[in-house]
Amino acid sequence: MTFESLCTRDFLPGDDPDPYGAHILPVYQTSTFVYESPEKIMDVFRGKGKAYVYSRWANPTVDAVERKIAALEAYGLKKDGKELPLKALLFSSGMAAISALFMAALKPGEKILTSGNIYGTTVELLNTLMHSHGIESVYRDLSDKSAVESALEEDAMIRMIYCESPSNPTVQIYDLSMLSELAQRYGATLAVDNTFSSPYLQQPFRWGADYVVHSTTKYLNGHGTALGGILLSTDAGFMEEKAWKMRKILGGNSNALEAWLLNNGLKTLPLRMEKHCSNAALLALFLESHRAVEKVHYAGLESHPAYSLAKKQMRLPGGVLSFELKGGLRAGIRFMKHIRFCTLTSTLGTPDTLITHPASMTHVSVPKAQRLAHGIGDGLIRMSVGIENADDIKNDLERALAAI
């Protein structure tokens, strides 16, 4: 079955049929499950048998969506001649999945090597909670091979490289096979936040990743209707013991209704991603030629430093782009004031086009020097390009650009 068809199915090949013959995945909206017999449940509590017990542990709707996302991330990939054996765990949010990954995979004293331009709350997690649990972070430019290698060489306690590719908001692309080879050579692992790509555009396991996380809140759900996060790995022991236990104990599980909403979004993932990407490519070209724009960051443009890398690693370069306006902060604020069609908000991956001006919105409390160090200039605008008619988006941008 092709990737596109897999997305449309509620029951995958090999799944048990629904006992009532339901066509669409049922929402098992129940907190607990009835015990078949004292003996059977005793085995389950002892970890010897499997049955649904309590929805914080596992739930049939959530399980079905985990299996589907695992099938999409593993699509077409093989290990020892067999389908890549991926396990997935769904969480209440992307942050719940990311924190479970760090807490389950690393011990106090061990370190994470990452770049500064990852999602702000992930940086906050690393610098506060993980730091107080004795897990420190080392920040380097992950596109610089020698900087990555010397960090790993100098510090044997680095056990994980963590990156987002494309990253936020300057859509930097990292060479995943270079990072996974270095991680392997130095006894570390590679974890990739694949939120900006979705498995339709990029499969990090193809390039040697050990762990993948997503904020499913974004492209996977695709409609802005539910928060969620997913953690995937081929290490069954890690997933079934450590990561599952982390979810069970800390209670960061997803729930049946939100998993079901996510599943509905997955059905149109390929169609949506194609349109997000074709619209983004058109708008990137339009913006690149506009006299009010200093620079456009989009890996589909030949001017982008990672143009060839994105071509190798991704099916298409994604639906998020950013651009720097001439005229800095004042231009950024004026531009935002004249936007009428696009929506001013900070999430991404919904059908409508979303625009943020980090310097006056999401990053207003970040010191300017720190912002600039990560390429977030005063006039930087980030767009999550939607699936509307591209002319409507272009006309809105044209009007707002003329107003500055």
Ligand X SMILES: Cc1ncc(COP(=O)(O)O)c(C=O)c1O
Report how far apart, in Å, the C-alpha atoms of 156 and of each of 136, 179, 192, 320 are: 13, 16, 21, 36
Phi, psi of 69 (to 5 degrees): -65, -35
The reply on whether position 66 binds ligand X by CB under 6 A is no
Please give the helix or strand (H or E) that residue 80 lies within, else none. Answer: none
The reply on whether position 193 binds ligand X by CB under 6 A is yes
The reply on whether position 217 binds ligand X by CB under 6 A is yes
The reply on whether position 164 binds ligand X by CB under 6 A is yes
From candidates 161, 227, 309, 401, binder to ligand X by CB under 6 A: 227
Q: Compute the least distance from the CB of residue 90 to ligand X, in Å.
A: 12
| Closer residue to ligand X (CB): 176 or 293 | 176
x-marked contacts with ligand X along 303-342 as a string, rule CB under 6 A: ----------------------------------------
Other beta carbons within 10 angstroms of residue 340's beta carbon come to 8
The reply on whether position 166 binds ligand X by CB under 6 A is no
Could you tell me if 169 and 346 are in contact, meaning their C-beta atoms sit under 8 angstroms apart? no
Measured over the CA atoms of residue 149, residue 152, residue 155 and residue 160, the dihedral's sign is positive
| Closer residue to ligand X (CB): 93 or 198 | 93
User: By Cβ distance, which residue is nearest to ligand X?
Assistant: 94
The reply on whether position 253 binds ligand X by CB under 6 A is no
| Closer residue to ligand X (CB): 95 or 316 | 95
Bridging pattern class, strands 82-83 and 78-79? antiparallel
From candidates 59, 93, 170, 353, binder to ligand X by CB under 6 A: 93
Q: Compute the least distance from the CB of residue 174 to ligand X, in Å.
A: 13
Could you tell me if 58 and 254 are in contact, meaning their C-beta atoms sit under 8 angstroms apart? no
| Closer residue to ligand X (CB): 224 or 379 | 224
Whole-angstrom distance, CA of residue 99 vs CA of residue 88: 15
Please give the helix or strand (H or E) that residue 192 lies within, else none. Answer: strand 189-193
The reply on whether position 255 binds ligand X by CB under 6 A is no
Q: What is the DSSP string of 193-236?
A: E-TTTHHHH--GGGGT-SEEEEETTTTTT-SS----EEEEES-H
Residues in the site for ligand X, rule: CB under 6 A? 93-95, 119, 164, 168, 193, 195, 215, 217, 227, 229
